[in-house]
Amino acid sequence: MTEQKSQYTGRILHRKPLIVAIAVFVIVLVVAGGIIGYQKTYAGRFYPGVQIGHLSVGGKTTAEVLEALRQIERNIADKGLIFTYQDKQVAVLPVVVGVNDPDLAKTILAFEWTPTIEQALAVGRTGNWFQQLFEQLGALVRGAAEPVYYQFDAAEVVTILKENFSQLEQPAVDATLVIEAGEVSVTDERSGEGFDYQLAADQVAVKISQLNFEPTELHFAPQEPVIYARDAVGALDEVKQILAAEEITVRADGRFWKLNSDQFASWLEFQLVAGAVAVGVNRDKVVTFLEPVAAAVDVEAQDAKFQLSGKRVTEFQASRDGKELDVEASYQKINEAIRLGAGGEVELVVAVAPAKVATKDLNDLGITELVGRGTSNFAGSPTNRRHNIGIGAGAVNGILIEPGEEFSLLKTLGEIDAANGYRPELVIKGDRTIPEYGGGLCQIGTTTFRAALAAGVPITARRNHSYRVGYYEPPVGMDATIYDPWPDFKFINDYQNHLLFITRIEGNQAVFELYGTKDGRSVATTEPVVYNIVSPGEPRIIYTDELEPGVRRKVESAHAGAEADFTYTVTYLNGEVKEEVFHSRYVPWKETWLEGRVPTTTDELVEPAEVQ
């Protein structure tokens, strides 16, 4: 019996490795089957645990997630980014609205959903098989919060907040110098309070990355004066020494201007120099004094500008070196001279700027024929817009672009202000309308873009408008917006010779042409494909204190959202082909009205966009 039991036990022990192997094999099959089933279940879907900001996307398709993200974007476009302080609330829209000119629309917040979705979808799909499995398990257990790709103009938000909330602040006041009837005294300083606008903008940027659009509350922060009366008293002897100088003469470019002590006495103020209180002159008052000086001294640098006559270039503007009063450096010299009580003469700083293209180079530039032409129509434009288009077209007319040079439209246009002939238009910032310059200049940007495309040059900076603008359609998607200081429009002259930029206005048509020497390249642009057309929805009302209560004013028409693509192909003589797809995305834009706010004790808060 014992022998039989021993034999039975032996057979069991002999079979045990086989049983274990079979069990392991079955477990491996089950696990592998589970993994394969898991992979199949989520093929083309986001793995469980994946989030975009606070939005859970696990198990959803890219189309479902894209629609959810676009719904969030629509909510923000409708309600804006909300900032509050006590009973005051301001909604900052993702696009600044131009009251009479869509060219003044400026994007403050723009989402980039394609890279956002691609990044989230890549969780569990990068690296080798084991790395993918590890990422999938990590997302399931710990979660995987992926970033939101977006562009946010925090500086513009700070500007808007200041324009809407600054009246509630009590700025700190420094101790000040008072000179009356020859007597010198000091007024006391005063502490104050002001908003930390940059902190609010930074907080919003964090919220955007999390798709969290709850209102952001502004907070007062104490503001202390820089100059205290107790520290300023010791500087009073300097004032007497300064006033003892009877006269100061400032010179620039062979001219001179005299200042007596009564004149510059009103400029005197306390300043902090190397941590100590000293006496100097107020910068704003000196700059005002220097304005007529600069007007007498300044001569704008002028490149040679040309027109074509047959195959030769004829001059219509000779080159001229420029000179300009360096206002900041000149202020520093005046401040130093008066602060030291030196009196005598101060030589102002005048900078010389040579012309980039000289007249003597007239016929050596290789400009013989048209290489590209762009046109756009601005029929229906209001008077100020038409005026600004003419000013802008004149600013770029006759410009020469050197071989290899990157052309910047904003740089070429120069300062966009009243001094250069531009007229302002109103834009909506928060609940206020603010005059700004630049209306009509996107007509210049768009027409330049089309001329550059026709010439087959590399485009290095181009942004489409935030929403569709009738002036640039058809076609959809071949526009370019500019807005000082950004965005700009740029291209590179990759021809062997100079390019000559000639502009003209023919009725309601802007015609921009680039002349040079053809080099055998050919250019092709496909017709834009328009898709994802989105209805703008119901009208939007922005409440303001600038209109009588209940009074409404329409400031913007509705624009359907859309996307548009076209392909730009340049084939060079050596057979090289360069191809680029220009993608434009236009947000749906509601008809927008301003309405006078009815005074209440507490303004109703706009509900934040919900993230499902």
197 vs 9, 193, 215, CA distance in Å? Answer: 83, 12, 14
| β-strands 344-347, 247-252 pairing | parallel
Task: Identify which has the larger pLDDT, 23 or 439.
Answer: 439
36 and 68 both lie in a single domain? no
pLDDT tens digits along 384-397:
999 999 999 999 99
7 and 75 both lie in a single domain? no
pLDDT tens digits along 108-140:
999 999 999 999 999 999 999 889 889 989 999
433 and 373 both lie in a single domain? yes
Q: What is the mean pLDDT of residues 152-160?
A: 95
Indicate whether 179 belongs to any domain: no
pLDDT tens digits along 505-558:
999 999 999 999 999 999 999 999 999 998 988 898 888 888 999 899 998 889
pLDDT band at 604 (very low <50, low <70, confident <90, very high): very low
Our measurement of the distance from residue 264's CA atom to the centroid of its chain's CA atoms, rounded to an integer in Å, reads 41
pLDDT tens digits along 353-387:
776 666 556 566 778 889 999 999 999 999 999 99
36 and 136 both lie in a single domain? no
Select from 125, 148, 171 the last residue of a domain: 148
Indicate whether 547 belongs to any domain: yes
437 and 537 both lie in a single domain? yes
Range of the domain at 69: 42-79+116-148
Indicate whether 608 belongs to any domain: no
Residue 399: predicted pLDDT: 87
pLDDT tens digits along 34-48:
567 677 888 889 999
How many distinct structural domains can be found in the chain?
3
436 and 451 both lie in a single domain? yes
Element (H, E) at 525: strand 522-525
Alpha carbons 409 and 445: distance in angstroms, whole number:
7
Tell me the HSE value of 91 on the side-chain side, using a 13 A CA sphere: 24
Residue 40: predicted pLDDT: 82
Task: Identify which has the larger pLDDT, 233 or 28.
Answer: 233
3 and 73 both lie in a single domain? no
CA angle (259, 263, 267) in 5-degree steps: 110
Residue pair 355/303 in contact (Cβ under 8 Å)? The answer is: yes
pLDDT tens digits along 308-357:
665 555 656 666 778 889 999 999 999 988 887 766 789 999 988 776 66
pLDDT band at 611 (very low <50, low <70, confident <90, very high): very low
Q: What is the mean pLDDT of residues 69-98?
A: 91
pLDDT band at 3 (very low <50, low <70, confident <90, very high): low
Residue 356: predicted pLDDT: 63
Alpha carbons 84 and 1: distance in angstroms, whole number:
93
pLDDT tens digits along 273-312:
888 999 999 999 999 999 999 988 888 777 666 666 655 5
Is residue 13 over pLDDT 60?
no
Task: Identify which has the larger pLDDT, 69 or 261.
Answer: 69
Alpha carbons 482 and 461: distance in angstroms, whole number:
10
Indicate whether 98 belongs to any domain: no
pLDDT band at 609 (very low <50, low <70, confident <90, very high): very low
Indicate whether 104 belongs to any domain: no
528 and 403 both lie in a single domain? yes
Task: Identify which has the larger pLDDT, 262 or 174.
Answer: 174
Is residue 413 over pLDDT 90?
yes
Indicate whether 153 belongs to any domain: no
Indicate whether 559 belongs to any domain: yes
Alpha carbons 221 and 195: distance in angstroms, whole number:
6
The residues that bridge with 570 in the sheet, in sequence order, are 523, 578
Closest CA to 242 of 137, 334, 371, 355: 334
Mean pLDDT, rounded, of the chain:
87
pLDDT tens digits along 76-87:
988 899 999 998
Residue 352: predicted pLDDT: 84
CB within 8 A of 74, min separation 6: which ones? 534, 537, 588
Q: What is the mean pLDDT of residues 204-220?
A: 94
Closest CA to 511 of 378, 366, 312, 367: 378
Residue pair 491/346 in contact (Cβ under 8 Å)? The answer is: no
Element (H, E) at 406: strand 406-408
Q: What is the pTM of this model?
A: 0.79
Residue 345: predicted pLDDT: 86
20 and 51 both lie in a single domain? no
CB within 8 A of 566, min separation 6: which ones? 475, 477, 478, 525, 526, 527, 528, 529, 581, 582
Indicate whether 195 belongs to any domain: no
CB within 8 A of 320, min separation 6: which ones? 299, 301, 302, 355
Residue pair 326/306 in contact (Cβ under 8 Å)? The answer is: no
Q: For 496-517, b where at least 16 C-beta lie within 10 A, e where not — what string?
A: ebbbbbbbeeeeeebbbbbbbe
- Name the least confident of 19-23, 103-107, 248-252, 594-598: 19-23
Q: At what angle do helices 327-339 and 283-297 cross, to 10 degrees?
A: 130
Alpha carbons 469 and 474: distance in angstroms, whole number:
10
pLDDT tens digits along 244-272:
777 888 899 888 888 887 888 889 999 99
174 CB-contact burial (10 Å; exposed 0-12 / middle 13-18 / buried 19+) = buried
138 and 24 both lie in a single domain? no
14 and 132 both lie in a single domain? no
32 and 122 both lie in a single domain? no
Q: What is the mean pLDDT of residues 222-246?
A: 88
pLDDT band at 163 (very low <50, low <70, confident <90, very high): very high
